[in-house]
Amino acid sequence: MTPLQPVRGTRDLIGEDAARYTYVVETARRISGLYGFSEWQTPIFEDTQVFLRPLGETSDVVTKEMYTFADRGGDSVTLRPEGTAGICRALITAGLTQTLPQKVFYAGPMFRYERPQKGRYRQFHQIGVELLGPSTPLADAEVIACGWQILGELGIAKDVVLNINTLGDAESRVNYRTALVGYFADHAAALSEDSKTRLEKNPLRILDSKDAGDRALIANAPLIYDFLTPEAAAFYAGLKTQLAAFGVPFEENPGIVRGFDYYNHTAFEFVTNALGAQGTVIGGGRYNGLVEQMGGPNVPGIGWGAGIERLSMLMAAAPAKKLPVVVIGDGVPVATALRNAGVACEIAFQNGVKNGLKYANRVGAAWAVLAGESLVLKNLADGSQSEISLPALIAHFSK
C-alpha cells in the first residue's frame, strides 16, 4: 500500500520548521502586545461574501485562488485567503464598531489555490495586525513601526527594505483612473488578457500585473502623485514625517498598489532580495471603506499581513529552547513536583539508568535526576553528581 502524503501545496510543521513557526508567532504576539494589540481568532472559513465583496471580483485571489465550496446545507463558504476581511466582519458581529479604536493581532492558516513554490503554499500561515478607528497618518506609521520592530526582533530587518506609496483618496483615484484608462487604452493590443479585463473593471489592478509585457508598459504609465488632491498629498506627507519620527527607514515606490479593492491612501511592503522573485515578506495598507462595504458604519482601518513561511526562511534559526531536565527511574513524584514549581522536565521512558542517560544526552538535557531510594542530581556537561533532597532540587532549578 502506498503511504499517504500531504496534499500538494501543504506541509507538516515538525522539528525545526515547527520551532521557527512558533518563534515567529510568539515574537509577533509579544511585540504587538507592546503596541497595545490584542489577539483575535476568527474562523478559517466564512460566508463567501465576506471575501467576494471586499477583495474585488477582478482580483486574482477571487478569480483564480479562493477555495470556495457549498457546504451540506447548500451555503457557499470559503476558506479564508487573507485575514483582514474576517477581522472586519468580526468587528461588526461583536458590536465593537462603537468602541474604537480596536487594535487586533492575529495568527493562523490561510488558503489560496496557486502554484506551490519556494516559500509559497496552498495552505500557508500569516501573522497580522489591524488598527481600526483612527484615520491619521500617525496610526499608519505606528502599524508599520510595529512590523519593523518584529522584523528586528526576528533578526531579519537588515535584509528587508520598506517600500511605501499612496493610493490617494476617492477623488484622487477617480482622476488617476481616467489617466490610466487613457494611457492603457492606447496600448491595449499589447496588454495581457488579464489586464485587458482589468482595464474595463479596475485599471489600477494593471499596475500589480506580473506579466512581462504589462511591466514594460507600466514603466511609462502616469504616476498617482500627479493626481493627488491637497488632502491626499498632505496625508502622504504626514505618513513620511511620522515614519521618520519612529525611526523607520523607507523608500518610495509608485508601483505598489496592493492586490485588493479595499485599499486607499497608504500602501506598503517590506521586501527582500533574499527570496528571489517572491520578495514581499509584509504587505499592507489603509482600507477606510471596508467595514462600511461589509454592512457596518464607516470605520477607518490600517493593517498588514506577513507570511510566516517567508519570515522563517529569512531567519538564521529559531533560538534553542531552554534545555530540559530528564528524570530517570521512579520519576512521577519528582517530575510532578518540578512541573508544579514551573520547571520544565521530561521523564525517561527507557528502562535502566544507562538508557535513560543516553536519552537525556540525545535530547540535549543539561541535567538528569536519578530517582530511586534517594535523589541524585547529575550534571551532564561535566559528569559530576550529588545526592539532593526534593526541596533542594526544586530550589536549584527555580533559580
One-character DSSP codes across 258-316: -SSTT-EEEEEEEE-STTTT--EEEEEEE-TTHHHHTTS----EEEEEEEHHHHHHHSS
- Residue 7 falls within a domain, yes or no? no
Query: Domain holding 343: CATH number?
Result: 3.40.50.800
140 has a pLDDT exceeding 90: yes
The sheet that has 385-387: what strands, in order across it?
Answer: 345-347, 325-329, 367-371, 375-379, 385-387
Domain boundary (314, 335, 360) is at 314
40 and 115 belong to one structural domain: yes
263 has a pLDDT exceeding 70: yes
Structure confidence at residue 396 (pLDDT): 92
For 263, the grid coordinates are: 485599499
Per-residue confidence at 277, pLDDT binned at 50, 70, 90?
low
56 has a pLDDT exceeding 70: no
DSSP assignment letter at 61: I
131 and 235 belong to one structural domain: yes
The least confident of 87-91, 97-101, 196-200, 340-344 is 196-200
The letter for the amino acid at 93 is T
If DSSP codes are grouped into helix, strand and coil, which group holds residue 219? coil
Structure confidence at residue 338 (pLDDT): 94
Per-residue confidence at 291, pLDDT binned at 50, 70, 90?
very high
Q: pLDDT digit string (tens) for 363-382? A: 889 999 999 989 999 999 99
301 and 363 belong to one structural domain: no
Cis before 203? omega within 30: no
243 and 374 belong to one structural domain: no
Per-residue confidence at 59, pLDDT binned at 50, 70, 90?
low
Average pLDDT on 213-220 reads 90
Q: For residues 275 and 253, what is the distance between their CA atoms, to the nearest angstrom?
A: 19
Domain boundary (314, 338, 359) is at 314
- Residue 285 falls within a domain, yes or no? yes
50 and 90 belong to one structural domain: yes
- Residue 182 falls within a domain, yes or no? no
Structure confidence at residue 276 (pLDDT): 67
- Residue 219 falls within a domain, yes or no? no
388 has a pLDDT exceeding 70: yes
Domain boundary (264, 281, 314) is at 314
Range of the domain at 386: 325-398
- Residue 179 falls within a domain, yes or no? no
278 and 366 belong to one structural domain: no
The letter for the amino acid at 40 is W
151 and 242 belong to one structural domain: yes
Q: What percent of the chain has pLDDT over 90?
A: 73
Structure confidence at residue 57 (pLDDT): 61
37 and 115 belong to one structural domain: yes
309 and 242 belong to one structural domain: yes
Q: pLDDT digit string (tens) for 77-97? A: 999 999 999 999 999 999 999
CA 315, distance to chain mean position in Å, is 15
If DSSP codes are grouped into helix, strand and coil, which group holds residue 52? helix
Q: For residues 80 and 399, what is the distance between their CA atoms, to the nearest angstrom?
A: 45
- Residue 81 falls within a domain, yes or no? yes
264 and 379 belong to one structural domain: no
Could you tell me if 194 and 208 are in contact, meaning their C-beta atoms sit under 8 angstroms apart?
A: no
276 and 295 belong to one structural domain: yes
- Residue 3 falls within a domain, yes or no? no
Per-residue confidence at 123, pLDDT binned at 50, 70, 90?
very high
Query: Domain holding 164: CATH number?
Result: 3.30.930.10
DSSP assignment letter at 62: I
150 and 238 belong to one structural domain: yes
Structure confidence at residue 243 (pLDDT): 98
Structural domains in the chain (count): 2
Structure confidence at residue 53 (pLDDT): 73
- Residue 176 falls within a domain, yes or no? no
71 has a pLDDT exceeding 90: yes
Structure confidence at residue 261 (pLDDT): 62
Structure confidence at residue 138 (pLDDT): 98
Structure confidence at residue 379 (pLDDT): 94
Other beta carbons less than 10 A from residue 347's beta carbon: 18
Query: Model pTM?
Result: 0.89
Average pLDDT on 194-206 reads 84
58 has a pLDDT exceeding 60: no
Structure confidence at residue 259 (pLDDT): 59
Average pLDDT on 137-150 reads 98
Beta strands in the chain (DSSP E): 38-39, 45-47, 68-70, 76-79, 102-111, 123-132, 161-166, 251-252, 264-271, 280-286, 301-307, 325-329, 345-347, 367-371, 375-379, 385-387
